[in-house]
Amino acid sequence: MFCAMGLKKITTIYFCCDFSAYIWTVLLRRIFPGRRLLTFAEEFSWAARNCGGKAITACDYRLTLAGTMYHVWKEGNYRIFKKLDLPVHVALDGPVGDIRAKLNSLRNVEFCPSG
């Protein structure tokens, strides 16, 4: 599907493929500059420990994770069913716009660092 690797496992598609790993890394560094991408299991473990509650960074992280997975899945469908490949910089526009719109609409969020 991505990177001409014919990947099948969800953990590989969303976290190891060059295409999806690049998108996830760019979006992750928006929230936590300098933080590296972890493996699928490590990422979810880290999120459980650090991104609970209503702090803006926690909300942003959860939206980023969900948005990235959705848009990577959507890009995979375009590639499989429509034979269309978006350049990675164009593929970033979807999750960035969605995350920005959702964060702008949130109420009852604490504007302080999480954790």
In terms of pLDDT, which residue wins out, 8 or 75? Answer: 75
Q: Is the pLDDT of residue 107 over 70?
A: no
Q: Give residue 92's pLDDT.
A: 80
Closest CA to 100 of 58, 60, 66: 60
Q: Give residue 114's pLDDT.
A: 45
Q: What is the pLDDT of residues 45-104, one digit of tens each?
A: 988 898 888 888 888 888 888 888 888 888 888 888 888 887 877 778 778 888 778 777
How far are the Cα atoms of 18, 28, 51, 95, 107 from residue 24, in angstroms, in the given order? 10, 6, 16, 10, 25
Are 77 and 33 in contact, with CB atoms under 8 Å apart? no
Predicted structure pTM score: 0.70
Q: Is the pLDDT of residue 21 over 50?
A: yes
